[in-house]
């Protein structure tokens, strides 16, 4: 059994600005999913990741969220947090969801905040993974819980608290 990441890069600039993207995404996947307690010893889990451009994120954002603009990261969880808790028994492979990130928006944000592109991309990928696992930032308590998880995971990757950075 395993935890698989289906990675597609449709914008080659990701490879230049975030050369360790594949290794980093696999590490994020392993850390986040293991901490969440997914039973990867008895069941196969998969997530798909798309590293693309603003146009594709704009299209996805408009189609799925009704927002007519690009965004940095979008997550499409296949299960609610409660449903994930019921996936502990052995069974067929489970596709957990999808994450997509837009190169130009991530580059613009990292430049505006004066932070390293790879660090910002890593933080946003962690953010996306947490959404796939059912975390959200819609209410104060939920937002605080998700933010605390993001800060802890970022620290594992040597990234300072992303919420303490001005910009």
pLDDT digit string (tens) for 135-165?
A: 888 778 888 999 999 999 999 999 999 988 6
Question: Given this model, what pLDDT does residue 62 score?
Answer: 97
What is the torsional sign of CA 156, 120, 145, 132?
negative
In this predicted structure, what is the pLDDT of residue 147?
Answer: 93
d(CA 54, CA 101): 8
- Spatial contact of 135 and 146, defined as CB atoms under 8 Å apart: yes
Average pLDDT estimate for 82-108: 88
Question: Whole-prediction pTM value?
Answer: 0.92
CA separation for the pair 132, 127 (Å, rounded): 9
pLDDT the model gives residue 137:
83
């Amino acid at each position: 059994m395993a935890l698989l990441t289906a990675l597609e890069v449709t914008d080659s600039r990701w490879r230049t600005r975030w050369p360790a993207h594949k290794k980093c995404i696999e590490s994020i996947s392993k850390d986040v999913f293991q901490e969440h307690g997914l039973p990867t010893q008895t069941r196969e889990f998969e997530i798909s990741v798309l590293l693309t451009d603003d146009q594709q994120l704009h299209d996805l954002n408009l189609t799925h969220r009704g927002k007519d603009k690009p965004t940095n990261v979008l997550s499409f969880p296949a299960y609610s947090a409660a449903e994930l808790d019921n996936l502990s028994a052995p069974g067929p492979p489970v596709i957990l969801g999808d994450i997509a990130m837009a190169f130009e928006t991530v580059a613009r944000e990292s430049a505006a905040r004066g932070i390293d592109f790879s660090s910002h991309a890593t933080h946003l990928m962690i953010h996306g993974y947490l959404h796939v696992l059912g975390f959200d930032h819609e209410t104060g308590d939920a937002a605080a819980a998700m933010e605390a998880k993001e800060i802890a995971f970022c620290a594992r990757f040597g990234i300072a608290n992303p919420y303490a950075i001005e910009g």
